[in-house]
Amino acid sequence: MSEKSFDTLAVHAGAETQEKHFGAVSVPIYNASLFAFSDAESGAKIHNYEAEGYFYSRLGNPTTDALEKALCELEKGEDALCFASGMAAITTSILGLVETGSHIVAPESHYATTGSFLRLLAEKFGVETTFIDATNAENYKLAARVNTRIFYLETPANPTLQITDIAEVAKGAREAGVISIADNTFATPFNQNPLSFGVDLVVHSATKYLGGHSDLSAGAIIGNREIVDKIRHSTMKLFGGCLSPNTAWLVLRGIKTLAVRMEKHNSNAQKIAGFLANHEKVKAVFHPSLTNHQNHEIAKKQMRGFGGMIAFDVGTIEAGKIFLNNLKLCTIATSLGGVETIAQHSASMTNANTPKELREKAGISDGLIRLSVGIENSDDLIEDLRQALMII
């Protein structure tokens, strides 16, 4: 049978594990922290990873395992690991792959807490990060040093929607002998598969689109078996930020509708980006679908759809706050990827702790609004945005 299309995969991903669960169509939730061995010999083998099986849920659980298998299918990876949050996935992975004196290259525009973590690594452990303009893949190579261990990507980037050429950075990483990691939270595997462009590891905040309903915290990594295994047996085991089986089940349920949700997120966002681009109160709009987006051509090359995230500039911090306060349908909140449309003002919220100079360098202007476009009716959303923009 030829390779299944994404919407089919999303519904059935991880289903081969049904056999293990008496044919249960929905993977059961294994609320067990430990698993008994049938005898000492087989117990020792399972515990030492010489035989398949489970022994302790921090290190493996059948429900979480089903989610990891599903994520491998969707992201086209060899292996996966789930975590209690996106940040647990990011910090555990990076710490598992660097040592004191290592160097990382990362984009100037990134999820603010990832940046705080990279700065903390430099202060406390001497692991320095060079932040570059990732809209030009060449800058990764230019910033590489003999001690560089990781090229870190986030594309589309939070909150600016900047796009990085994944294949170019992955090629540069291979040539330089460093590991490439891509945060695929904004795009989701529906729109983009970084592993197919040669990246070694994908990270996700499954709190966002994978879960999809603003009701859980989860994270995951997917990719090269050797790298995932290295993280599993070092920092994952030691830090213990594992995902609970209850939450793994919620993410699995979310994934079943990922394709239909993403289709609507994509089409709504494209319509809204077009509306905002023609509005007199809006200074600039950033969405990879727009032909005037700086890296629209690269986005077209590597994305199947342009995603549900939009950023737009209303001019000033004050205008940003007035706009949010006048929204009637959209929710004011700092997360994204849920079925409801969520708006936030980056300078006073998610990037309030980013020094102004770094914020501006990353393209986060005072009036930047980040919109996570939901799956409501696009006309209703446009009407809400129109009336809130009229007041600023």
Question: Which one, 185 or 341, has the nearer CB to ligand PLP?
Answer: 185
The distance of closest approach from Cβ of residue 94 to ligand PLP in the complex, given in angstroms and rounded to an integer, is 12
Contact assessment for residue 40 and residue 55, using Cβ atoms and an 8 Å cutoff: no
Structural tokens at position 368: 């930047």
**In degrees rounded to 5, what are phi and psi of residue 201?**
-145, 135
Burial of 271 (0-12, 13-18, 19+ CB in 10 A): middle
With contact defined as beta carbons under 8 Å apart, do 384 and 328 qualify?
A: yes
Q: Minimum distance from CB of 37 to ligand PLP (Å)?
A: 34
Catalytic residue at 208? Answer: yes
Q: Toward ligand PLP, which CB reaches closer, 14 or 115?
A: 115
69 is an active site residue: no
CB of 369 to ligand PLP, least distance (A): 15
- Angle, alpha carbons 138-147-220 (nearest 5°): 75
User: How far, in Å, are 37, 187, 238, 373 from residue 309 at the CA level?
Assistant: 47, 9, 35, 6
87 vs 202, beta carbon nearer ligand PLP: 87
Nearer to ligand PLP, 200 or 388 (CB): 200
232: annotated active-site residue: no
Task: Return the number of the residue (206 or 273) whose C-beta is nearest ligand PLP.
Answer: 206
Task: Give every CB contact of residue 300 below 8 A, 6+ residues apart in sequence.
Answer: none
Min separation Cβ 45 and ligand PLP, Å: 35
Among the listed residues 69, 79, 111, 366, the single catalytic one is 111
Indicate the residue whose CB is closest to ligand PLP: 86
Q: Of 234, 193, 251, which Cα lies nearest the Cα of 70? A: 251
**Least distance to ligand PLP, CB of residue 269, Å:** 16
Coil, strand or helix at 193: coil
Backbone angles phi, psi at 305, to 5 degrees: -145, 165
Q: Across-strand partners of 150? A: 104, 179
Work out the end-to-end distance of the chain between its first and last CA atoms, rounded to an integer number of angstroms.
Answer: 56
Residue 58 a catalytic site member? yes
Counting runs of H as helices and runs of E as strands, what totals does the chain give? 16, 12
Rounded CA-CA distance 114/154 in Å is 10
User: Is the CB of 69 or the CB of 110 nearer to ligand PLP?
Assistant: 110
Query: Least distance in Å: CB of 87 to ligand PLP?
Result: 4
Name the residue nearer to ligand PLP (CB basis): 372 or 378: 372
Q: Omega into 156 within 30° of 0, i.e. cis? A: yes
Contact residues for ligand PLP, defined by CB under 6 A:
85-87, 111, 154, 158, 183, 185-186, 205, 207, 217, 219
List of residues 6+ apart from 226 with CB closer than 8 A: none
Give the separation between CA 289 and CA 271, rounded to whole angstroms: 10
Q: Please, what is the minimum distance in Å from the beta carbon of residue 205 to ligand PLP?
A: 3
Comparing CB distances to ligand PLP, the nearer of 62 and 211 is 211
In angstroms, what is the minimal distance from the CB of 199 to ligand PLP?
15
Tell me the residue length of the chain. 392
Torsion of CA 371, 376, 377, 381, to 10 degrees: -30
Residue 214 CA to residue 158 CA, distance in Å, equals 18
Active-site annotation holder among 58, 119, 283, 304: 58
User: Among the options 183, 200, 313, 384, which is catalytic?
Assistant: 183
Annotated catalytic residues are 58, 111, 183, 208
